[in-house]
Chain A
Amino acid sequence: MLAFVLRRLGMTLVAVWGALSAVFLVLHTSGDPALMMAPVGADEEQIAALSHALGYDRPIAEQYVAFFGDVLRGDFPDSLTFQQSALHVVWERLPATLTLAATALALACLGAAAAGLWAGGAGGRGGARREWPMWLVFLAQSVPGFYIGVLLVWIFGVELRWLPTSGAAGPAALILPAVTLACGVTPPLARVFRNSLRGELARPYTRTGTALGMSRARVLRHAAHGSMLPVVTVLGLEAGALLGGTVIVESVFSWPGVGQLVITALQNEDYPLVLADLTFLITAFVLVNLIVDLLYGLLDPRVRHSSGRS
């Protein structure tokens, strides 16, 4: 088990390095940030001096080696706009994003569990009376997240004035962005849970349970447990959609998290800040997938034993 975790952690590092390299190269071929920072009226020499001071006049290979050298020494370059440790700036914004993502994930799990149980719990019988939650799910999946966000802002913020639409001021401000974010993650979860549950309910052990006089709730509990594996796989994949979604949702709702930060950093050509921000996002994505892999072991003893032997 430990070897498995260590190997996965190693792969995590490789994934982060690969993703950062790609972003580094794209960023550094798109222009010199000194041009963005120079005051109006600055001439070529002043811009060249600024570019030199920041190290952006060096060949890209040299900048690449210097950047990863700094990162390996734990000395992440300073943000150009904030003029302090880029990692620190991202760190300050991280709680806001984690709160939003965790709330959205909890909402998505609740929504998917409810819709999946209702639609899949009858084992495929029940028709439209059972299927209507899946239509809602289908609708939520068809509409892009930013559109849902703007729609919610309009209805609940501007027209009804029930809920705040910006700024992370108090728990009420969490509702709209979390619901918007959850709308993107719930559909695949609900769908896979419903199908998986249906499949379990058609298997002999649930029929045996029913025949032995087990209550419907107890049968469903066993079937739900059995149908968890594919759900957890999708959960891992959707973590990426969730993190990507925060970038859009945070912009729509002025949520002061890492998603909003990365957009402004890109607009300002603040390369170190973009890289620091993405380091967090990529690491979070890879870590979630690691956790999902570990959950497999907990949910399915067969996985645990085979990886233990290898």
Chain B
Amino acid sequence: MTALGRRGFLGLGAGAALALGLTGCLSAASPAARARRSEAVIGLSAAVTTLDPMNTTSVGTDLSVLSSVYSSLVTRRPDLSIGPDAAVSWDRPEPTRWRFRLDGNAAFADGTPLDAEAVAWNVARLLDDGNALRMTSNFPLLRGAEPVDAHTVDLITAEPDADLPAALSFLYLLSPGWAARHNPATEAMGSGPYEIVRYSPGGNVELRARPGYWGPAPAIRDITFRITPSESARVSGLLSGELDMVAGLDPQDLERLAADRALTVHQLDTTRMAFIKLNTLTGPMRDIRVRHAVNYAVDKRAITGSLLKDTVDPSPGQLLTADYAGHDDGLTGYPYDPERARALLAEAGFGPGRPLSVELTVPSGQYVAGDLIVQAVAQQLRQVGVRASINSIPFTVYMQKYLVDQDMSDMQYITQAWPTLAAGGLYGLFVSDSPYAYWADEEFTDAVTEARASTDTARRDELYAAAARRAREQAPVLFLFPQPGIHGTAKNLRWQPRPDDWVRPAEMAWKEAA
């Protein structure tokens, strides 16, 4: 004791405590330690803005969190099929009437049953214009709900609506009695597998598995959604083992993440298609030869190979991805053929003496690699003698020009998806009277209009295939590629990657070996 001295002894003690503390930090930060404690941390790209599931359409953030707390009648599975949630079965007894039979055990956290009356109340809440709910616009044909018995409910549509179950996978159900006494925007009480432990606007969200849940218990007990708006923070969070799961990463970070053996990187096509819209109503793009020329002039494979790191394949000349009902498998894209592009331009009266000048607009920072893709396209157009000047503008200015002023430039980069994955929805953006179209084509519009009204699925698919062929031939866009979906998880986290934006904790589990 004398040799060491009192100070030395204290120093040793402090050092030991510090070392213990540091080891504590180290083990607390690793996915393996969280697996032992049945926890997981998920990085979200934006804050959760509301707890009211009917007042948001942000699938990747708000709805992913709320889908853990609330149940819906039906749910979209990872393979994109529609499966049961609170409803065990459903059919269409009449063309404008869908019948749903509910799980008799389905109940809210406070014990009140999730029955036919509760569903009818939720539909009424959704359709009441006075509530001004953001989800309402996804249900243009829904007119109301009628309880048949305690556990059976009918949903009535104005016209036959084959896509209603797909839309209902976005409708999460509140408890009528609870909603009357609480503010659903800031509090939550649902019938889902988790309950919210901590939430404040703009902050992280913590969930805990609910002991009395009527469905199968989720594999992971404690979930933290950490708000990480910066891409570099999401990447370093995965690399440092602080985040167990991040969806929607940038292709530029792919190599860095794939090189880390503690991570699994999933890549697949999303349901969002990227293309360059051509203004066929005014200017040089009225000429179909010019539209074909730009399609031949761009080497799509070179762009997916370099900028998107081979995560996706070029589109086979289609406006929608393979996940949509109504996708035509028989089409092929425009090959890269600069000679043909030059010949077509010459035919249309453009050449070295009279070069074609076009404006190419892109909303800055809005789409994955959008600014880079547009630069590559402009560069390749220059090779065939087209002078494309890039106009990079904020998203709201872009939308103002595109939609409100109806003043779209000759070419504009855009990505489009339709939440219910219905071809009729996405093709609706290309029919003649749509403000999104900038394309007036009778053949395409007639096929889509007839298909949407058709109840015969074989006939409907035939009409959508005809519409797809017409769009391929008329080229109202410069066809590019689906937007890549790149998702990173800790090696031991089991999760089936999805082409859409849902990030559901209940679909995750730690592998036993962990």
Q: Which residues of A contact B (CB under 8 A)?
A: 30-33, 35-44, 46-48, 53, 79, 81-84, 88-89, 92-93, 96, 150, 153-154, 157-158, 161-169, 172, 251-254, 256, 260-261, 263-264, 267, 269
Question: Which of A37, A83, A92, A254 makes the CB contact (< 8 A) with B50?
Answer: A83
B186 within 8 A of A: yes
Interface residues as binary, B314-355 with A (CB distance below 8 Å gives 1, 0 otherwise): 000000000000000000000000000000000000000000
Which residues in A have their C-beta under 8 angstroms from that of B236? 153-154, 157-158, 165-166
**In the complex, are the beta carbons of B134 and A39 less than 8 A apart?**
yes
Q: Given the complex, which residues of A lie within 8 Å of B377, measured CB to CB?
A: none
Of the candidates A47, A154, A261, A267, the one whose C-beta lies within 8 Å of that of B202 is: A261
Q: Complex: how many Å from CA A158 to CA B233?
A: 11
What residues of A have a CB within 8 angstroms of the CB of B229 in the complex? 251, 254, 260, 263-264, 267
**Closest-CB distance, B242 to chain A (whole angstroms):** 6
Contact (Cβ within 8 A) B186 A42: no
Q: How far is the CA of A105 from the CA of B132 in the complex (A)?
A: 45
On whether A166 and B237 interact (CB within 8 A), knowing A157-B242, A264-B46, the answer reads yes
Give the contacts of B119-140 with A (CB-CB under 8 A).
Answer: 132, 134, 137-138
Cβ of B4 under 8 Å from chain A? no
8 Å CB contact of A168 from B30, B49, B204, B241: B204
Residue of A whose beta carbon sits closest to that of B402: A35
B residues near A36, Cβ cutoff 8 Å: 395-396, 399
**Across the interface, which residues of B come within 8 angstroms of A154, CB to CB?**
236
Q: Is the interface of B mostly helix, strand, loop or mixed?
A: loop
Asked if residues B404 and A44 are in contact (CB atoms below 8 Å), the reply is yes
> Looking across the interface, which residue of chain A has its beta carbon closest to that of B135?
A39
Whether A35 and B400, one on each chain, are in contact in the complex, defined by CB atoms closer than 8 angstroms, is yes
CA distance A164 to B26 in the complex (A): 9
B403 CB to closest chain A CB (Å) equals: 6
Cα distance, A81 to B227, chains bound together (Å): 15
Contact B202 A40 (CB under 8 A): no
The answer to whether A33 touches B396, judged by C-beta atoms less than 8 angstroms apart, is yes
Known: A40-B416, A40-B418, A166-B237. A83 touches B242 (CB 8 A): no
Task: Considering the complex, give the chain B residue whose CB is closest to the CB of A270.
Answer: B49
B242: A residues at CB distance < 8 A: 157, 164-167
- Given the interface pairs A83-B49, A269-B396, the reply to whether A256 lies near B227 with Cβ below 8 Å is yes
Residues of A within 8 A of B417 (CB): 40
CA separation between A119 and B22, bound complex, in Å?
A: 33
Chain B residues closer than 8 Å to A31, beta-carbon distance: 394-397, 399-400
Interface mask (B28-41 → A, CB under 8 Å = 1, otherwise 0): 01100000000001
Q: Which among B68-76, B153-161, B381-389, B427-435 touches the partner chain?
A: B427-435
A164-B25, A254-B229 known; A39-B138 Cβ under 8 A: yes
For residue B425, CB closer than 8 A to chain A, the reply is yes
**Given A93-B203, A167-B237, A169-B224: 18 more A-B contacts, CB < 8 Å:** A42-B137, A43-B434, A44-B403, A44-B435, A46-B137, A47-B403, A83-B49, A92-B203, A150-B232, A153-B240, A161-B241, A165-B240, A166-B242, A167-B41, A167-B226, A256-B47, A256-B227, A269-B396
With an 8 A cutoff between CB atoms, is B455 at the interface? no
Q: With a CB–CB cut-off of 8 A, which chain A residues contact B240? A: 153, 157-158, 161, 164-165
Contact call B202/A89, Cβ cutoff below 8 A:
yes
Which one, B202, B228, B429, contacts A41 given CB within 8 A?
B429
Taking CB atoms, residues of chain B closer than 8 Å to A48 are 404
**A165-B434 in contact given A41-B428, A83-B55, A92-B200 (Cβ < 8 Å):** no
Q: How far is the CA of A163 from the CA of B236 in the complex (A)?
A: 12
Nearest neighbor of B418 in chain A, beta-carbon distance:
A40
Are A162 and B26 CB-contacts (below 8 A) given A251-B229, A269-B396?
yes
Does any Cβ of A come within 8 Å of B239's Cβ? yes
Tell me the minimal C-beta distance from B234 to chain A in angstroms.
8
Question: Is the CB of B214 closer than 8 A to any CB of chain A?
Answer: no
CA distance A64 to B228 in the complex (A): 33
Give the residue name and chain of the B residue nearest to A46 (CB): B137
Residues of A within 8 A of B419 (CB): 40
Which residues of B sit under 8 angstroms from A93, Cβ to Cβ? 200-203
Contact indicator A92/B202 (Cβ below 8 Å):
yes
Is A254 touching B404 in the complex (CB atoms < 8 A)? Answer: no
Determine which of B200, B399, B418, B429 lies in contact with A35 in the assembled complex, contact meaning CB atoms within 8 Å.
B399
How far does the Cβ of B189 sit from chain A's closest Cβ, in whole Å?
A: 18
B453 proximal to A (CB < 8 A): no
For residue A169, which residues in chain B have a CB less than 8 angstroms away from its CB? 204, 224, 226
Contact check, B49 vs A81: say whether CB atoms are below 8 A apart: yes
Cα–Cα distance between A161 and B29 once the two chains are bound (Å) = 8
Which residues of B have CB within 8 Å of A96? 203
Is B185 engaged at the interface, CB distance under 8 Å to the other chain?
yes
CB atoms of B226 and A254 under 8 A apart: yes
Q: Which A residues are in CB contact (< 8 Å) with B396?
A: 30-33, 35-36, 269
A208 to B134, CA, bound (A): 77
When C-beta atoms are compared, the residue in chain B nearest to A168 turns out to be B204
Question: At the interface, yes or no: B57 with Cβ under 8 Å from chain A?
Answer: yes
Contacts of A41 in B (CB 8 A): 137, 418, 425, 428-429, 436
Q: Are A252 and B233 in contact (CB under 8 A)?
A: yes
Q: Which residues of B contact A84 (CB under 8 A)?
A: 50, 185-186, 201
Nearest 9 pairs of A and B residues by beta carbon:
A31-B396, A35-B399, A157-B240, A254-B228, A89-B201, A92-B200, A167-B226, A81-B49, A256-B203
Q: Which residues of B contact A165 (CB under 8 A)?
A: 233, 236-237, 240, 242
Q: Kindly provide the distance from the CB of A39 to the nearest chain B CB, expressed in whole angstroms.
A: 5
Q: Does B81 sit within 8 A of A, measured CB to CB? A: no
Instruction: Assess A82 versus B202: contact at CB under 8 Å? Given A35-B400, A41-B428, A166-B228.
Output: yes
Shortest beta-carbon distance, A145 to chain B, in Å? 14
B496 within 8 A of A: no
Interface centre among B41, B226, B434 (most CB of A within 10 A): B226
